[in-house]
């Protein structure tokens, strides 16, 4: 962005309130900062989560049970009682009826305010009961003051920041905020309002507005905010893409051998590439032959063959005389990749005096030193590992391609560290892989700075997986199903949930499940246990035993979610399936059906006392039973949970969309995508001000 694009109207942080000497920020200022309220525009964009109607007084006699109402009445009785607990009970009369007010927490000032004879304005939920109308802990203020002309905003807040204080701060910030137009003339979506009018309305809507249009965000004022937010996101992504296009990467054209390693690898593979793998391979080859760094996301459903595509890209890189690194988030997943790549590439590399190196944090010093020396000398043409690949001690001779698997589990800092390994003024080409297919609207918004390749075809030989929902009380039937699979020589996964807040309890449950299955299935069946707290060597040993069929049943936490490939496993049981996310359930299901045997996934769920599961959990389980299409699963997951889980650590410090909904606002997203490049080209100053208004410093994360 040219220097001239900086706006003289750039938002300034709110002045800090005076605090006592030596105490730093005031309590209110600290609370506001926790909410991210620093600049005037931050306050202006901090919209209410709901509204209260204090614009009218209603007679008590006209109220209905469960209705929120505001009355003006005289206190006729007021006393503190101690049955069954200490409480303040006040009776008020507005001339049409009486109402009893109950307070379990109260102060002397409230008792004084509610003394007999006082005329008060009371707002709360009216309940019909044994003693007549009641309100529990209503809001009380002195009667006689003028009624507000707009609905009263209620903001999300935190401890130490009272609603009246937050309202005052937001009103003040809104009044000071620079809200001049940043859209080019005539660019605003049809029917939306200008920003100042929209914000003033949404903070203080007229009492006659249809509340439903505020709650479902369909009002034209909401549409304007969503449009502006999506445009800021698109501008920021496009700026990042253009900034990266100015960087330089090694041009990976084949050497004098004519790409022999690539050809040899294709010939050595025990299977033919799918059409999708060939197409994506060609896209990557074209990227690698350019001096602009590749930033490509390779997405594909479970089992679509992403590792093969990555191996072929690595071969292109090595053919050009450079090194490639492949980084995975867990040692188990990295080991799975390493095993495949060693099998495919090591014999071919050995002919060239090269090798595949293995780097993890659990390695012994001697082995690690050997590997890092091979990396530094260039002997290790391909380096596979975990975060250890980006440690300071690892120095590449000439890294040109970095492959990151399960990219959403790595943050900006890790990707920056990997990029820094290229040396000199070069950036490595970057290929990020995800086994969670990304819905179109998500790819168009949060991944707009990347090129996206899709493996939308499964290799032949993958068998369909039948998914069954089974209530926990039918657990014995599931064990019978396991016996039937074992009798056919098959193997079984049993997955237990692992929730951080109750990790010890969940590990105990996993251990107990292993013991119960071992007892039920008999001594002749090997039942193993795998969880994240086990030493790496022990985890590796268990996986090797299961892969070799020395263990027939593997009880595991979600460490087997990705990367584990045991074709003989034909049954997956997921315990407490209602506790898992939809994409995670789909990933786990993909561990079976990898061979020729008919496979099944049993989702064992625990209903509550009423025999039901929560609405979101029910939606997840229903989706799993209805489809095995990863893209349809991803679309439904986006509807249920929003974009956060898809993005993971990629968005470290980045703002998720606060107002726009990718499921419902696709037309606004299309509008923003179309306007962003034209705005950057023709109105760079407006674009800079628009991004600063909406994202501030949070746009920086995209440059990684």
Any idea what the CATH number is for the domain that residue 84 is in? 2.40.50.140
Q: Does 211 lie in the same domain as 70?
A: no
Indicate the residue among 142, 174, 192 that finishes a domain. 142
In the beta sheet, which residues pair with residue 154?
Answer: 50
Instruction: Return the structure tokens found at 157.
Output: 């807040």
Pair (483, 441) in one structural domain? no
Query: Of 555, 561, 566, which Cα lies nearest the Cα of 585?
Result: 561
Pair (184, 325) in one structural domain? no
Residue 175 and residue 137 share a domain: no
Alpha helices in 59-176 (DSSP H): 108-113, 163-176
State the virtual CA torsion across 50, 656, 237, 217 in degrees, nearest 10.
-30
- Residue 98 maps to a domain: yes
Residue ranges of the chain with per-residue pLDDT less than 50: 1-12, 14, 16-22, 499-501, 562, 649-654, 701-704
pLDDT of the residue at 46: 95
Same domain, 99 and 212: no
531 exposure class (CB count in 10 Å sphere: 0-12, 13-18, 19+): buried
Residue 691: the pLDDT is 93
Report if residue 376 sits inside a domain. Answer: yes
Domain that holds residue 98: 56-142
Does 649 map to a domain?
Answer: no
Q: How far apart are CA 638 and CA 293, in angstroms?
A: 30
Percent helix, strand, coil in the chain, to 5, is 45, 20, 40
Say yes or no: 33 and 122 in one domain: no
The token duo for 684 is 């760079």
691 occurs within a structural domain: no
In a domain? residue 540: yes
pLDDT of residue 563: 52
372 and 506 part of one domain? no
Same domain, residue pair 174 and 137: no
Helix and strand numbers, DSSP H then E, in the chain:
23, 22
Number of folded domains in the chain?
4
Are 355 and 438 members of one domain? yes
Claim to verify: residue 579 and residue 437 sit in the same structural domain: no
For 145, left (φ over 0), alpha (ψ -120 to 50), or beta? Answer: beta
Whole-angstrom distance, CA of residue 393 vs CA of residue 399: 15
Task: For residue 237, tell me if it sits in a domain.
Answer: no
Q: Say if residue 285 is in the same domain as residue 398.
A: yes
In a domain, 636, yes or no: no
Question: Are 323 and 418 found together in one domain?
Answer: yes
At residue 331, the pLDDT reads 77
Q: Which of 413, 430, 455 is the last residue of a domain?
A: 455
Q: HEC states along 310-368?
A: HHHHHHHHHHCCCEEEEECCCHHHHHHHHHHHHHHHHHHHHCCCCEEEEECCCCCHHHH
Q: Which of 611, 627, 643 delimits the end of a domain?
A: 627
- CATH number, domain containing residue 506: 3.40.50.300
The strand pairing partners of 357, in sequence order, are 383
Residue 102 lies in a domain: yes
């Amino acid at each position: 962005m040219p220097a001239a694009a900086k706006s003289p109207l750039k938002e300034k942080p709110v002045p800090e309130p005076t605090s006592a000497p030596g105490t730093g920020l005031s309590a209110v200022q600290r609370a506001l900062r926790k909410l991210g309220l620093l600049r005037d525009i931050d306050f202006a964009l901090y919209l209410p989560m709901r509204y209260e109607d204090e614009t009218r007084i209603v007679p008590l006699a006209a109220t209905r049970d469960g209705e929120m109402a505001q009355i003006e009445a005289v206190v006729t009785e007021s006393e503190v009682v101690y049955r069954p607990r200490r409480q303040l009970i006040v009776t008020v009369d507005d001339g049409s009826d009486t109402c009893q007010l109950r307070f379990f927490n109260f102060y002397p000032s409230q008792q004084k305010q509610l003394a007999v004879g006082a005329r008060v304005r009371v707002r709360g939920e009216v309940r019909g009961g044994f003693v007549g109308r009641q309100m529990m802990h209503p809001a009380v203020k002195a009667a006689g003051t003028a009624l507000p002309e707009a609905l009263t905003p209620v903001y999300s807040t935190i401890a130490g920041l009272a609603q009246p204080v937050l309202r005052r701060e937001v009103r003040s910030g809104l009044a000071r905020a620079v809200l001049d137009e940043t859209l080019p003339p005539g660019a605003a979506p049809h029917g939306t309002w200008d920003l100042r009018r929209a914000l003033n309305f949404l903070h203080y809507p007229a009492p006659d507005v249809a509340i439903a249009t505020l709650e479902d965000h369909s009002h034209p004022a909401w549409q304007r905010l969503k449009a502006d937010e999506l445009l800021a996101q698109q501008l920021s992504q496009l700026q990042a893409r253009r900034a990266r296009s100015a960087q330089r990467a090694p041009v990976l054209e084949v050497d004098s051998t004519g790409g022999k390693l690539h050809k040899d690898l294709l010939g050595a593979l025990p299977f033919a590439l799918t059409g999708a793998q060939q197409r994506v391979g060609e896209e990557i080859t074209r990227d690698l032959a350019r001096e602009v760094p590749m930033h490509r996301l390779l997405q594909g459903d479970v089992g679509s063959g992403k590792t093969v595509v990555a191996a072929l890209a690595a071969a292109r890189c090595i053919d050009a005389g450079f090194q490639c690194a492949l980084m995975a988030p867990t040692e188990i997943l990295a080991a799975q990749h390493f095993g495949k790549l060693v099998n495919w590439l090591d014999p071919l590399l050995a002919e060239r005096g090269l090798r595949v190196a293995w780097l993890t944090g659990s390695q012994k010093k001697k082995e690690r030193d050997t590997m890092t020396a091979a990396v530094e000398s260039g002997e290790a043409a391909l380096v596979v590992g975990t975060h250890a690949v980006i440690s300071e001690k690892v120095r590449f001779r000439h890294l040109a391609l970095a492959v990151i698997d399960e990219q959403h589990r790595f943050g900006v800092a890790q990707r920056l560290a990997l990029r820094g390994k290229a040396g000199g003024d070069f950036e490595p080409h970057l290929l990020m892989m995800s086994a969670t297919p990304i819905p179109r609207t998500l790819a168009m918004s949060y991944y707009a700075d990347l090129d996206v390749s899709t493996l939308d075809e499964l290799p032949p030989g993958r068998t369909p997986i039948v998914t069954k929902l089974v209530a926990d009380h039918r657990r014995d039937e599931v064990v019978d199903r396991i016996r039937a699979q074992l009798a056919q020589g098959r193997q079984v996964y049993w997955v237990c949930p692992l929730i951080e807040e109750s990790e010890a309890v969940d590990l105990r449950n996993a251990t107990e499940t292993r013991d119960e299955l071992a007892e039920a299935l008999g001594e002749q069946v090997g039942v193993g246990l795998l969880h994240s707290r086990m030493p790496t060597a022990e985890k590796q040993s268990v996986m090797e035993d299961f892969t070799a069929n020395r263990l027939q049943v593997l009880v595991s936490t979600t460490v087997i979610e990705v990367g584990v490939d045991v074709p003989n496993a034909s049954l997956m049981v997921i315990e407490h399936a209602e506790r898992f996310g939809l994409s995670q359930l789909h990933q786990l299901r993909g561990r079976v059906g990898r061979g020729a045997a008919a496979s099944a996934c049993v989702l064992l769920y625990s209903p509550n006392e009423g025999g039901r599961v929560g609405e979101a959990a029910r939606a997840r389980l229903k989706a799993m039973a209805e489809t095995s299409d990863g893209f349809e699963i991803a679309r439904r997951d986006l509807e249920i949970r929003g974009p956060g889980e898809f993005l993971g650590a990629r968005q470290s410090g980045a703002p998720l969309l606060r107002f726009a909904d990718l499921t419902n606002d696709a037309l606004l997203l299309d509008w923003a995508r179309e306007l962003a490049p034209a705005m950057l080209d023709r109105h760079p100053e407006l674009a800079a001000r628009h991004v600063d208004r909406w994202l501030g410093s949070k746009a920086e994360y995209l440059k990684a």
